[in-house]
Structures are given as C-alpha cells and as structure tokens.
Structure 1
C-alpha cells in the first residue's frame, strides 16, 4: 500500500518529467525565436535574418525573427530576459538597445540587465555616416557644416532614432566640441522616415549606419560628410573618417550582437555561440555583410564576448555622464 510520501514523490516526478525530458533532448529540438527590437528592414533586422538563416543550416532548426519594437529596446530586452532560459528565445540587439539603454534607462527597466541578460555572440560592426541633406543646405564638407551651424544657431536640425540613442550622443558631443546650438529631432519611426526627412530638407545632419544610407549616398541624393570607422571604407575610399577630420572618439560603430536569458545552460550557450561563429564565416553572410557595409566580428569564446559587453557598458556609462543630455 502506497504511503503519503510515495504519492507525493510520484507527483513530484511527474511534474518534473517535462523539464527532465527537455534537459535530455538535443538542442535545438524545435524552432528558435529571435527577437529584434525594431521594425523590419533596418540593420539589426537584416543581421538577424542573415545570421539566423545560416544558423538554421548549421543547427537544423528554423531561427524565426520576431520584430518587437518599442521603448528604446526595453520591450524586446525584457521579453527575452523573462523567457524560459532554454535557448528558444533569443534577441539580436545593438549598441543602443543593449549598451546605452541599460545604462541610461536603468530605472525604467523591470529587470536587472547585467544579471538577467548574457551576450552569446558579437555578430557585426556597422560603421556610420555623418550625413547632410542636399536640399537647401549648402555644406559640402564637415567644416562647412560646422561653420553653417555656427552662423545659424538653433536652425540646424539633427536627427536620431530617439532620445538616448547613439546618434544623439554623437551629435551632442560634436556640437559641444564646436560650441554649436543645434536642434534635436528624434525619429523613433526608423530609417524610412529619417531618410524621407533628410531628402526633403527638414533634417540637416544625421549619424546613420552605412547599410541604411549607402545607396542614396552613391547616387548623390544625400551627402556623406564623414564616416565613423577606424579606417576609410573600401566602397567609399574618398570619404574621410571622423578621426582624420580631427574628431577622434566622436562617432559610433553600431555593433550588432546575439543575447539570451542569463540562466540559459552553458552547453546551450556554447552551441549557439559556435553556430553563430560558423554562420559569420559562411560566404552568404560575408557577402551579404559586405554589400551592407558591415564587418563580421566573431569573438573566440563566450568569456571574451562577456568581457567585450562589460567594456561597452563601462564606455557608455562614461559617455552618458559626460554628455549629460536632457532625457525629456
């Protein structure tokens, strides 16, 4: 005759059975969800889809992109962090959503970012253009743009993807360096509305990633004044870097990376890290990145990836304190 202890033990085993089976099954055994904190079509979405397709080839399961824009990336970050830590909910984020937002908007987040989120793999570095409109804006170089802004205080509009984005910090630091009074115009709707406003001349200056703007720079519809990169771009050899023009440290390389809930088993993280690393070596990804002006940036280990993110968070703590921008 079964005792009460036997009944309780059996119930506990039955309750644990799904988790035990999950722990024993090979990963991944079903499709993986990859959250993207922006609408489709932007650089982060492009990276997620290209890398996800190659990770599907490597691991044999679909990596399905789910776009979850909103709240400077907080919506996607918190959704991913609260998901079951089993490797089936990931996030592809960037410097704004996964380094600046956790520093700048820490009190608005309902999670402890550094304890509940872990980087899986650094994926890509994406240089940024400093762009100028060609509509009713005479500047053809950075020096001319600065001179124009100095002579027209408050009349030059610069854009960003939102308050607290890297584009805003870069413009603020440039403006303070030169004593400029420029007007910030947040454009949280994404690259499409930003490009439209640059084309019609309502926006005058903007730091924007190369992948988004390269085509319009080539055909002359928008003018690139400089590039935020450690070297000139092969496809734009005549375009100087910000450092060459005398502004080292101003201008952000907009990296992209893969993230997971912090309690995800190490073996699953290792599987994902290795698959991402292999995906970045695949010719379709390398060629796709090249066309978008991106550089694959695989880290050699999980530990190296974590050290890299810690250094980025430290950098942006210093940067946000120095800029002291008005968050509105």
Structure 2
C-alpha cells in the first residue's frame, strides 16, 4: 500500500511540474487546457463507458491548496459523455477530455477561475473564501480501468469501498494506540476540561470522552444506535469560537453509517427527540490526525456543535415528491469533493 501511494505521489509531482510549465498542452473548444500522457493501451474509449480514475485537484494562485486527492482513498468513477457546447449552456470541466482517455493514461487539466466567472458558471461574489479571481484549478488524473457497463463499475466500486474501509479501520487503530501512548488523549481531555471551566460551562463527559451540555434532554424517543435522527446544528471551533458550518440540518442513522465524526455521534446519543444542547468534541474524537483535504481543520482540532434533535425514528424521513420540472430560460450553470 505504501509503495502504491509513493508511486502516486511521484506521478503527481511529475505531472504538476509539467502543469506549472504549461508545455505541450492542447485546448478544447471551451478553452480548457489539457495534456494526456498515454499508457500502453490501444483500445479506444466509447461514449457511455465508465472510467475508474485517481484524481488530485490543486488550487494555485492566491493560495496553494490541495482540495482533493483520491490516491490514498477510493478512486472516482465517471461516465464518458458526448459533451456538446450549446448556446446559453456553457460547459467548462475535465469531463470534456474523458473521451480521449484510455486505461493506463494520465492527464493534467487546467481550469481558470476567471474563465468560470466569464462563462457564467461561477459568480465572483459566491466563490468559496479560499478561491479568488486569477486562481487556477489543476486536475491530475490517472485512469486505472475502463468499464463497459454500469453494473461492473458498481461492483468494482463496492470492492474498493470495502478495501478502503478496512485500511481506514486499521490506520485508526494504529493512530489511536500511538496517540494513547504519547499521552495525547489525556492532554486533549484536560484541555477541553480547562476550556469548559474557563467558560463556566457545565458539561457531562461520556465514557468515550465527549462532553455534552444538555439544555433540554427532550421527551421523545432516545437517539440510540440504529435510529434515524434529523437535527439542526451549528459547528464551531473551540479556538476563537469561530463558526465553520451552519446553521444547517441533516438526517443520519446513528452509529451505523459512518457519516458523522465519532464525538458527534456519541454526543447525539445523549439526547431524546426534542432535545437541545451543545456537544464538545476533543480533537481525537473529531477529525483526528487526518482532516479531510481542503477542510478548515488542523490535526486533532477540538470542535463543538450546538444541536437540536428534531426527529428520532426507526425509518428515514420520506422525501416529498418532486414537482414536474418546467422549461426554463437557459441560465448560468453551476459546478461545485460531505
């Protein structure tokens, strides 16, 4: 596994260097710049085929940031489409070159933020805070396989997901053991206790190490493992009490689907339907040693969430039927890696 990651890193370095030099690049009709490094396969890729690829996305210009990297995670799968530029419907994305790629190929694709704005795909006022005019997005792609049917691609994705889950569980065990031995766990618990004391906050520590301040315990069903919980929340960093997400809402199955960080899941289980409070999470129960690429979190950064438990049920909420779409005047499309 380490050897594969090293090979991926070497590939990224070589291709990123080529992108910086911007040499040997071609340009699509939309203005997309790309360069393909051909592998050994001679088979052409047909429309409808599904590419299995590793991808990194790097933002450069005002700030150099790695936004996404699948080389140590799960590859992504994309269907090859016959993309046509239509009046009033601008398109400017790496998908344009998928039809040129074959198994074993690598590619670098460059998008300019100014072009996204000019084409109406993005609006300057709505750019993410880390992105500015004049920046560029560099996509580095490596085609691992090509599938001719959706069923084969889905089966492969399932296998990749299971393998990734095993790798992550093993890594988490190793990190947890090392962190415990270093005294880091106890240090973070002590730091959270000191923070709560300084703020005059009374919170109860769970067996896992999450701290929960219960303003209203709730009177409905307990948010236990397996229950589908719908809640409102606002996420903040302990450092500076800065909001990083919310207010927002979502539904998750507690303790089973892995969609929440451990401390959040643990904290939610302390409430019943109708409950309100705050969940304080030491860094080792938040995103730990490996925050998501491009996220605003540091390693082992402590967080807290103000929550309101709106619904606890045995089944997920039913989605409202979608209204029939009405023809609309073509407008700026929007492209935007929980």
- TM-score greater than 0.5 by the shorter chain: no
TM-score computed with the length of structure 1 as normaliser: 0.25
Relative to its length, the structure with more helix (as a share) is 1
Relative to its length, the structure with more strand (as a share) is 2
For CA contacts below 8 A with separation 6 or more, give which structure has more relative contact order: 1
